[in-house]
C-alpha cells in the first residue's frame, strides 16, 4: 500500500498545531456529544452476587465525562459505535442503544439474541454474536436479516468476541479458547483459523488491526498477531492478571486494554504504557474509542469542529495570512 504524502506540509503542520491546541483545550472540557478519542467503556461491579452494570463515557485522558446508564444485573458484554455515533451495548438480554449524547434511544427488537458481542459492517448492518454458536446479522435498527451457525472449538462454548474484517466478509471470532477462528459471512462458510495456538489463558476479546493482524486479550496478557497468525508482540504489566478488553485508539498507533478495574493505553509498537485510568468501582467488560479503528468500518470521517476549534483555526489562518503578508512585504 502506498503511503499518501501529506499535502502542503507546512500549512498542514500549522493546521495540525492549531487542532492539537484545540483538542487539548477540548479534552479538558466536559463533552456534550461524543468526540474523537473519547472512551466508551463499561463493566460490572466485582461481586459474588448480582452485579451492577456501569455504562460510562470517559474523556480521552480517562476522566469520567458521564455515566450514561447503570443497571442492576444487566451488564455490558461489548460495545460498538455505528457511523452515526450511536453506541450499542450488548447486555446479554438485549442491545441497548444510546445516542451520541449518551441518552438512551431504544433497545433492539427482542428476538432471543443473548447478545455477547457486536460488530458493524460498512453498510451499517450489525453482526451480533449470541453467547451460543449463532451469529445474527441485523439492520442498524435491529431487524433480523440472517443467521449463521458458527463452528466452536469446544461444543460447550459459544462465541465470545467478533470483529468483521475490512473485506466485509471475514468474521474473526473466538470461543473462549486458544483459537482465532474465521468465518465468511458472505458465503456462509468456515475459513481456516488465523491461529489455533494462542498463548495465555483463553481468548476473551479480539480486535482487528488495519494491517490484517489482530489484538487479542487472552487474560494473562494481550497478544498481537500478524496477518498470518504469528505472535509478534505481547503486552502485560506486573500485577495485572485479567486482560479482557482491547480497543484501538483513534491514532492507530496505540490501543486501550483493560485488566479488571484498570485501563491502560499501550503504544502498539513498543508496548510502552502511554496513559492509564481506573474505573470508579467496577471491572471493565467492554471498551471502545470514539473514532477508534474498527476494521470493517474503516477510518472515521472527520468530526465537526467545535467552537473552540473554529476559533483556533481562525487564529491559525490569521497567523498564516499575517506570515504571508510579511513574506510578501518583506
Neighbours of 317 (CB within 10 A): 14
Q: How many CA atoms lie within 13 A of 92 on its CB side?
A: 10
Least distance (Å) from other proteins to the CB of residue 319?
A: 15
Give one DSSP letter per residue of 43-71, joined into a string. Answer: EE---SSSPEEEEEEE-TTS-EEEEEEEE
66 lies in the binding site for other proteins (CB under 8 A): no
- Residue from 39, 118, 165, 289 in contact with other proteins (CB under 8 A): 165
Task: In whole angstroms, give the CA distance from residue 55 to residue 90.
Answer: 11
Number of residues that bind other proteins (CB under 8 A): 108
Least distance (Å) from other proteins to the CB of residue 285?
A: 7
Least distance (Å) from other proteins to the CB of residue 188?
A: 14
Residues in contact with other proteins, shown as a per-residue x/- string from 119 to 138 under the rule CB under 8 A: ---xxx-----xxxxx-x--
Residues 212-241 that bind other proteins (CB under 8 A): 212, 219, 241
Give one DSSP letter per residue of 245-273, joined into a string. Answer: EEEE-TTSSEEEEEETTEEEEEETTT--E
Q: Which CA distances in Å does 35 have to 85, 255, 259? A: 9, 17, 24
- Residue from 38, 56, 74, 163 in contact with other proteins (CB under 8 A): 74
- Residue from 88, 89, 173, 176 in contact with other proteins (CB under 8 A): 176
- Residue from 17, 29, 63, 141 in contact with other proteins (CB under 8 A): 141
Residue 229, C-alpha cell as written in the block: 497468525
- Residue from 106, 153, 231, 240 in contact with other proteins (CB under 8 A): 106
Task: In whole angstroms, give the CA distance from residue 256 to residue 246.
Answer: 6
Task: In whole angstroms, give the CA distance from residue 170 to residue 189.
Answer: 10
- Residue from 119, 195, 244, 262 in contact with other proteins (CB under 8 A): 244
320 lies in the binding site for other proteins (CB under 8 A): no
Task: In whole angstroms, give the CA distance from residue 205 to residue 203.
Answer: 6
Least distance (Å) from other proteins to the CB of residue 274?
A: 11
Neighbours of 171 (CB within 10 A): 26
Would you say 181 or 209 has its CB closer to other proteins? 209
- Residue from 189, 302, 307, 327 in contact with other proteins (CB under 8 A): 302
279 lies in the binding site for other proteins (CB under 8 A): no
Residue 56, C-alpha cell as written in the block: 460510562
262 lies in the binding site for other proteins (CB under 8 A): no
21 lies in the binding site for other proteins (CB under 8 A): no
Would you say 198 or 330 has its CB closer to other proteins? 198
Q: Which stretch binds other proteins (CB under 8 A): 24-32, 56-64, 101-109, 320-328?
A: 101-109
Q: Is residue 39 within 8 Å of 62, Cβ to Cβ?
A: yes
Residues in contact with other proteins, shown as a per-residue x/- string from 180 to 209 under the rule CB under 8 A: ---------------------xx-x----x
32 lies in the binding site for other proteins (CB under 8 A): no
Task: In whole angstroms, give the CA distance from residue 166 to residue 121.
Answer: 8
Residues 36-55 that bind other proteins (CB under 8 A): 44-53
Q: Is residue 154 within 8 Å of 176, Cβ to Cβ?
A: yes
Amino acid at each position: 500500500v502506498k503511503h499518501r504524502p501529506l499535502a502542503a506540509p507546512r500549512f498542514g503542520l500549522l493546521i495540525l498545531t492549531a487542532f492539537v491546541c484545540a483538542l487539548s483545550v477540548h479534552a479538558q472540557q466536559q463533552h456534550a456529544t461524543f468526540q474523537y478519542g473519547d472512551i466508551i467503556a463499561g463493566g460490572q461491579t466485582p461481586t459474588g452476587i448480582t452485579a451492577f452494570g456501569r455504562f460510562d463515557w470517559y474523556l480521552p485522558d480517562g476522566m469520567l465525562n458521564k455515566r450514561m446508564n447503570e443497571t442492576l444485573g444487566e451488564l455490558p458484554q461489548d460495545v460498538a459505535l455505528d457511523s452515526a455515533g450511536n453506541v450499542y451495548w450488548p447486555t446479554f438480554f438485549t442491545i441497548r442503544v444510546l445516542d451520541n449524547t449518551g441518552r438512551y434511544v431504544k433497545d433492539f427488537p427482542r428476538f432471543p439474541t443473548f447478545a455477547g458481542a457486536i460488530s458493524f459492517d460498512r453498510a451499517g448492518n450489525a453482526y451480533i454474536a449470541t453467547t451460543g454458536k449463532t451469529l445474527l446479522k441485523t439492520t442498524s435498527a435491529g431487524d433480523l436479516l440472517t443467521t449463521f451457525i458458527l463452528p466452536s472449538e469446544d461444543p460447550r462454548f459459544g462465541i465470545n468476541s467478533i470483529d468483521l474484517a475490512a473485506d466485509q466478509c471475514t468474521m474473526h471470532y473466538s470461543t473462549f479458547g486458544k483459537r482465532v477462528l474465521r468465518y465468511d459471512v458472505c458465503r456462509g462458510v468456515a475459513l481456516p483459523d488465523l491461529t489455533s495456538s494462542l498463548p495465555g489463558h483463553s481468548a476473551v476479546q479480539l480486535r482487528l488491526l488495519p494491517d490484517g493482524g489482530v489484538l487479542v486479550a487472552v487474560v494473562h496478557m494481550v497478544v498481537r498477531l500478524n496477518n498470518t497468525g504469528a505472535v509478534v508482540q505481547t503486552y502485560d504489566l506486573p500485577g495485572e492478571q485479567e486482560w479482557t478488553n482491547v480497543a484501538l485508539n483513534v491514532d492507530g498507533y496505540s490501543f486501550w486494554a483493560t485488566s479488571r478495574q484498570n485501563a491502560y493505553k499501550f503504544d502498539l509498537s513498543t508496548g510502552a504504557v502511554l496513559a492509564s485510568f481506573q474505573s470508579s468501582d467496577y471491572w471493565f467488560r467492554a471498551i471502545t474509542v470514539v473514532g477508534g479503528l474498527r476494521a470493517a468500518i474503516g477510518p472515521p470521517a472527520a468530526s465537526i469542529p467545535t467552537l473552540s476549534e473554529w476559533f483556533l483555526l481562525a487564529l491559525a489562518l490569521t497567523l498564516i495570512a499575517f506570515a504571508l503578508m510579511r513574506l510578501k512585504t518583506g
